[in-house]
Structure 1
Amino acid sequence: MSQPVPPPSGNPFADGAAPQPYPMAPPPAPARDNVALGLVAALVAALVAGGVYGAVMGGIEREIGWAAIGVGFLVGLAAGKVGGRNPVLPIASAALSLGAVYLGQLVGIAVMVAKQLNVSATDVFLEEFGLLTEAWSEGKDAMTFLFFALAAFAAFSGAKKAAA
């Protein structure tokens, strides 16, 4: 006959089992408080998003407010995710998003002019940059500055939220 098994006492070592070592701790999360890397990421995002914004704007031949917001948000997101919580990053993101929207508007004008003249938009952008800035200056209106403000706000808030 077998002996009845006594109820568990709550002690894991009562039956003579050796103690098990604690599992290894996971590696620490990568440091995200790298301001310089956050600024580089924001700059790259600004250049790429500004170029895409300009290509879309030139393709449909009008400014798009939600796209300007997207440009700003992408710049802020890149800065916040890579750079962390440094208070410089939201401000730098807002400034870079202004430049990105301006770049995008110039690219958009270059695409529109290139379509009319049947030439390369790159040639128009690089060779006639002075004329592009004059055309932008003559065509700016209240909506242009609203798009700048929306992009800067989206970049600032995007950087703060991404770092949280």
Structure 2
Amino acid sequence: MSQQFQSPAPESATPTPEAVPAPPVAAGVPAQSGASFLAPAPAAPARANNVGLGIVAAVVATLAAAAAYGGIMNALEREIGYAAVGVGAVVGFAAGKLGGRNPILPLVSAGLSVVSVFLGELFFYALVIAGGTGAGLGDVLSTLGVSGLVDIWKEDADIMNFLFLALGAFTGFSTAKKIGD
């Protein structure tokens, strides 16, 4: 067996902080180094208050959520309230996360959530018509246009459509407010 021996440090050397033993700690009392317990905890970084970025993010989320909402309704062949809530949450999250704490962002999120749910419903009608006629989605959109899809929506709208619009608006507002804080 070989043993390695280290020569002891000379007595005149200044001890390094690593070499100084820590003071004994009583049971149940956390160890403290120096006077750091008097220093306040570092503050959380301030969130940027970038309204422009929040609005741009909310608009992009509006379009993406509308496409997803219409696709989900087409796949399930019906409207779902939870999906409208999800649309509002996506729009509000994007606005609040990238826009920060600004009182205008929850209002913008609520409005854009209504737009997103509405556009999703129009997209759903376009997908149903395209599937039923065998025409392409582009053909349906170019033939009917937005005004033709809105007319179909008006004929088919009931209280549930308006409830889903309201759910999206409420969720968009509350999510942006909560995330922005």
TM-score when normalising by structure 2: 0.74
Divergent runs of 4+, >6 A:
none
Q: What do residues 85-128 of structure 1 show as CA deviations (whole Å, max 9, x unaligned)?
A: 10000000000000000100000000001111001123212331
**Quick check: 1:41 aligned with 2:71?**
no
User: 1:136 maps to which residue?
Assistant: 153
* Root-mean-square deviation (Å): 2.1
TM-score when normalising by structure 1: 0.81
Partner SS for 1:85: coil
User: 1:162 maps to which residue?
Assistant: 179
Whose radius of gyration is greater, 1 or 2? 2
Q: What do residues 34-93 of structure 1 show as CA deviations (whole Å, max 9, x unaligned)?
A: 000000000000000011101111222211110000000100000000001100000000
**Quick check: 1:125 aligned with 2:134?**
no
Structure 1 gap ranges (5+): 1-14, 20-25
TM alignment of 1:5-154, pairs within 5 A: 16-17=14-15, 29=45, 31-129=47-145, 130-154=147-171
Identical aligned pairs, as a percentage?
A: 48
Separation in 2, partners of 1:56, 1:140: 18
Structure 2 gap ranges (5+): 1-12, 18-41
**One-letter code of the match for 2:162?**
F
Aligned residue-pair number: 144
Residues 75 and 93, structure 1, Cα contact 8 Å, conserved in 2: yes
